[in-house]
Structure 1
Amino acid sequence: MLKNKHSLPVLIIGQGLAGTILAHTLDQAGVPFYLVDAPKTFFTSSYAAGGIFNPVTGRKLEKSWLVDELFSYLFPFYTALEKTLSSSFFHPMPLFRPYANEEMKSWLLERKEGIDNEYLRWTDEGVWVEKAGWLDVDSLLRCSKSYFQTKNIYQEIAIHPATDLKISGDVVSFQKQTYACVIFCEGYHAQQNNPFFGHLNFLPAKGELMKISSLEPSQEYILNKNGFLLPLGNHEFKVGATYRWDDFSNQPSISAQLDLRNKLKSLGLNSYEEIEMSTGVRPATQDRRPLVGFHPHLPLAIFNGFGSKGVSLSPYFAHQWLAEWKAEGQINSEASIRRFYHLFST
């Protein structure tokens, strides 16, 4: 297997956010690869992502999981990638969380001393979160697609893993090319369509966003209160997001539209024009941890399950995936699919 790792390329299936970040990580490391992606009629979540990265989570303002490691890697990774792609898509921006009411303000202030305040700045009106921001995922994916096409390492085609991939020993063949490993980055589609990893603990969640234009809100920061208001420039904003676990269609719903209008009302925004709705299904998991690693018996791997935190999680875990592939380290045990090896038949 180690010999093949050094002499054969790897095949990445899926050019959503996860697959794109992994591909760039391999590209930077000089690892040969080929990337395939299904036509855009094959519904994906990445093009509808809010793209927010935020170092704190929940009403208790707790640090997000592995935030120090993630954010020390996140900023230089995306900054360097902008230079590689000669584009701008990484937008650090403060995030403001106004107190919901006086009761919540008192509740938080009573706990302030017990909270890790590294990323927080407290005011009378609310709490500012530093080192937050957003990634223009749509722009990143489009620029990356052009970059990979220019290098002749990209193809748009729908793959059916059970029939299109031929596994022989420690290699895989596809379209007369032999690969050392196939890496599945299919998002929530893996649960339905992947015979090798579909039995893992996926818990996909549909989300809907609204794009609006308005002269009222500030364009200098992200507003977060029972939802988010994300400035895109030119007085346009994304409003989000909704969660559903019983509908994975790619059609916007009236209920989500009403929900987002209510979020705008709670954010204090009254004058705006609705531009469009967008939908996506987050590749979330039951234990809220990614699915990263290698099949215990076959030359296959997975890079998936990042949920709504793909912008911050993907660069760090792409680095970890590569380190394990090169036998130079191991994937964090909470994210590694080793935690599910007991589910794989021998």
Structure 2
Amino acid sequence: MKISKPYLIVGQGVAGTVLAHHFLQANIPFQIWDSPIHFNSSYAAGGIFNPVTGRKLEKTWLADELFDYLFPFYQQLEKTLNASFFYPMPLFRPFANAEMKQWLLDRKSEINHDFLTWTDDGVWVKQAGWVDVASLLRHSKNYFEKQGIYAAKTFQVADAMDFEGVIFCEGFHATQNPLWNKLPFLPAKGELIRFQSNEPSRDCILNKNGFILPLPDGAFKVGATYRWDEFTQTPTASSREELFGKLTSMGVSNYELLDTYVGIRPATQDRRPFVGMLSGNNRGIFNGFGSKGVSLSPYFAHTFTQDILGEKELQADVSIRRYSHLFSV
């Protein structure tokens, strides 16, 4: 496929950053602009990747494809950026109580065990871990700046004519973009707390109606909350109390509060991302990854890049073409 002009990636959160690195690998010319007036929720992300989901211990959607791809992708990207931000780490899910333990044991034969190791106290999840999203974004921004392809700039409609295509990676801000505000987004506000304590284990991510994540600096994060009634950048007292309750339920009673982080997850009603170019014009989207941006975005950045180059079509259940009726005139 011949590309006569560069592409423009709008937004340098997780989605835009990961897509930009794939464009670099594929030698697709591009610029990446990040609006200085937008709140970048990616900096507040917990960044956990986990191939098992829900109380039924089900493999997450496309787990095999996603996790086979994300490990070598992030490991190579650390080398490219000469930075550390990818932390594979076992995740432990203790049984909530005796009744839940027995319920899971009764259906154990129905559960896929590819990523699981069972113990008397709970279940260990393999191929889990976390990405230090803030570090990934900072080092990527520096890398893009050195190559002259990054700008702190807000996209205007008239800018589109200068580019082969404009791909919007705006997170929850897409709900305010007239081009995309008809899409069935379901954004969710979340809060995390960074805290200091000697009580939690530093050897794993603890997952029990929330998570406790050990950080390289000796601190921890606990998260996360979900709310759908307001989307400000301001922490709320109710969410703080909920997070304190999560700490108590996970056996942490002695801690020092260090920081609070607020983000808005760009989730979707059908729990599938919005990926692809609109038919008939040069606008596209790479968005809707919800709370699983660090695990979903690498694989779909790869498939989106293949689609742009004409090598392979996007999967129908993530393609923006599934909502073509919303863009008909």
Structure 1 residue 166 and structure 2 residue 149: aligned? Answer: no
Corresponding residue number in structure 2 for 1:247 = 230
Structure 1 residue 186 and structure 2 residue 197: aligned? Answer: no
Deviation string, structure 1 residues 106-148 (Cα, Å, up to 9, x no partner): 0001111110000000000000000000000000000000000
Corresponding residue number in structure 1 for 2:124 = 128
TM-score, scaled relative to structure 1? 0.93
Q: How far is 1:158 from its partner? A: 2.2
Whole-Å separation in 1 of the counterparts to 2:40 and 2:135: 15
Q: How far is 1:314 from its partner? A: 0.2
Whole-Å separation in 1 of the counterparts to 2:253 and 2:131: 27
Among residues 322, 325, 328, which one is paired with 1:342 in the alignment?
Answer: 325
Among residues 16, 20, 45, which one is paired with 1:19 in the alignment?
Answer: 16
Matched residue type, 2:181: G
Whole-Å separation in 1 of the counterparts to 2:267 and 2:21: 23
Corresponding residue number in structure 1 for 2:115 = 119
Whole-Å separation in 2 of the counterparts to 1:323 and 1:235: 41
In structure 1, list runs of 5 or more residues that go unmatched. Answer: none
Matched residue type, 1:29: A
Whole-Å separation in 1 of the counterparts to 2:52 and 2:123: 11
How many residues are matched? 329
Corresponding residue number in structure 1 for 2:193 = 210
Whole-Å separation in 2 of the counterparts to 1:235 and 1:125: 26
Q: How far is 1:53 from its partner? A: 0.1
Q: How far is 1:195 from its partner? A: 1.8
Question: Structure 1 vs Structure 2: percent identity of aligned residues?
Answer: 59
Q: Check the 8 A contact 1:219/1:233 in 2, yes or no.
A: no
Q: Check the 8 A contact 1:215/1:235 in 2, yes or no.
A: no
Q: How does 1:182-331 map to 2 (within 5 A)?
A: 182-192=166-176, 194-331=177-314
Deviation string, structure 1 residues 23-71 (Cα, Å, up to 9, x no partner): 00001111110010012x5212100000000000000000000010000
Structure 1 residue 62 and structure 2 residue 58: aligned? Answer: yes
The runs of 4+ residues in structure 1 deviating greater than 4 Å are: none
Whole-Å separation in 1 of the counterparts to 2:39 and 2:241: 23
Matched residue type, 1:259: E
Deviation string, structure 1 residues 135-185 (Cα, Å, up to 9, x no partner): 0000000000000000010000222xxxx2238xxxx32xxxx21000000
Whole-Å separation in 1 of the counterparts to 2:100 and 2:10: 45
* Secondary structure, aligned partner of 1:188: helix
Matched residue type, 1:342: H
Q: How far is 1:217 from its partner? A: 1.0
* Secondary structure, aligned partner of 2:180: coil
In structure 2, list runs of 5 or more residues that go unmatched. Answer: none
TM-score, scaled relative to structure 2? 0.98
Instruction: Name the stretch that deviates more: 293-302 or 17-26.
Output: 293-302
Give the direction of change, closer, same or farther, for the CA distance of 1:234–1:145 in structure 2 (3 Å limit).
closer
Whole-Å separation in 1 of the counterparts to 2:279 and 2:217: 50
Whole-Å separation in 1 of the counterparts to 2:141 and 2:217: 26
Matched residue type, 1:78: Y
* Secondary structure, aligned partner of 1:217: coil
Q: Check the 8 A contact 1:92/1:132 in 2, yes or no.
A: yes
